[in-house]
């Protein structure tokens, strides 16, 4: 069975896909066969789902789109609402089965969540329930902006409450000029209780390779050696 990581974030649009792709790149450079998974995607751009395509490009293993992305919805809205509009119910079992199949094809599976950690997936379950079912170590992406301290600490607390291990966090600078950036990063280092994997500065055209070079994934790579 493959080893893997679940990438979650403090909100939508904080750089989960970019960090997930950087993880895939780093593991591939370390000699591992890798595949990315986006269980639920909401927001089609033209005829494509950008997050799903980015993960596929960063993967060394090709897999059927139904395994990589079991649920995809056109509007960029909360997944459970998008599913309701499509007349579909998001269920965890198909996602768990798809992950198990991917685990047979690659040594490392990187799963990217939808939105924030507690985003509803259906009437009863959230992204946290999915993460708990998969049982993977978590990588938390913090979008560095006003309010990120509260969002990050609440997300970290919920990860722990879900019985999951946080393998580390990434400070992703999504604004070009956040006031007191260093102070905010220091505050999170002191409180999150998991390793800071690195800081991604504001980049107008980031790439997985470029971001991977800014982050320290050694502990994560060693965990799957």
> Residue 135: left if φ>0, alpha if ψ -120 to 50, beta else—which one?
left
Q: How many whole angstroms separate alpha carbon 129 and alpha carbon 69?
A: 17
CA neighbours within 13 Å on the CB side: how many for 116? Answer: 14
Residue 53, C-beta contacts closer than 8 angstroms, at least 6 positions apart: none
**35, β-bridge pairs:** 109
Q: Which residue out of 4, 23, 26, 38 is catalytically annotated?
A: 38
Residue 5 φ/ψ, nearest 5 degrees? -145, 150
Q: How many whole angstroms separate alpha carbon 113 and alpha carbon 38?
A: 7
Q: How many whole angstroms separate alpha carbon 162 and alpha carbon 164?
A: 6
Residue 171 φ/ψ, nearest 5 degrees? -90, 110
38 is catalytic: yes
Q: How many whole angstroms separate alpha carbon 210 and alpha carbon 61?
A: 21
DSSP string, 125-144: -BHHHHHHHHTPPEEEEEE-
Q: Which residues belong to the active site?
A: 38
């Amino acid at each position: 069975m493959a080893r893997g990581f679940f990438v979650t974030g403090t909100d939508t649009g904080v750089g989960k896909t970019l960090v997930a792709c950087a993880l895939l790149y780093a593991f591939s450079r370390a000699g591992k066969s890798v595949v990315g998974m986006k269980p639920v995607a909401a927001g089609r751009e033209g005829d494509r789902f950008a997050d799903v395509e980015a993960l596929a490009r960063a993967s060394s293993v090709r897999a059927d789109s139904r395994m990589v992305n079991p649920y995809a919805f056109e509007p960029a809205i909360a997944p459970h609402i998008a599913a309701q509009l499509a007349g579909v119910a998001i269920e965890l079992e198909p996602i768990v089965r798809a992950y198990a199949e991917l685990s047979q094809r690659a040594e490392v599976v990187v799963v990217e969540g939808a939105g924030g950690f507690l985003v509803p997936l259906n009437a009863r379950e959230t992204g946290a329930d999915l993460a708990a079912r998969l049982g993977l170590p978590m990588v938390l992406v913090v979008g560095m902006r006003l309010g990120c301290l509260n969002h990050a600490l609440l997300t970290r607390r919920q990860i722990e409450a879900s019985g999951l291990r946080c393998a580390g966090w990434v400070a992703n600078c999504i604004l070009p000029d956040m006031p007191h950036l260093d102070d905010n990063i220091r505050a999170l280092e002191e409180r999150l209780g998991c390793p800071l994997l690195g800081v991604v500065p504001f980049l107008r055209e980031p790439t997985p390779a470029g971001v991977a070079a800014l982050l320290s994934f050694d502990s994560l790579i060693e965990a799957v050696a």
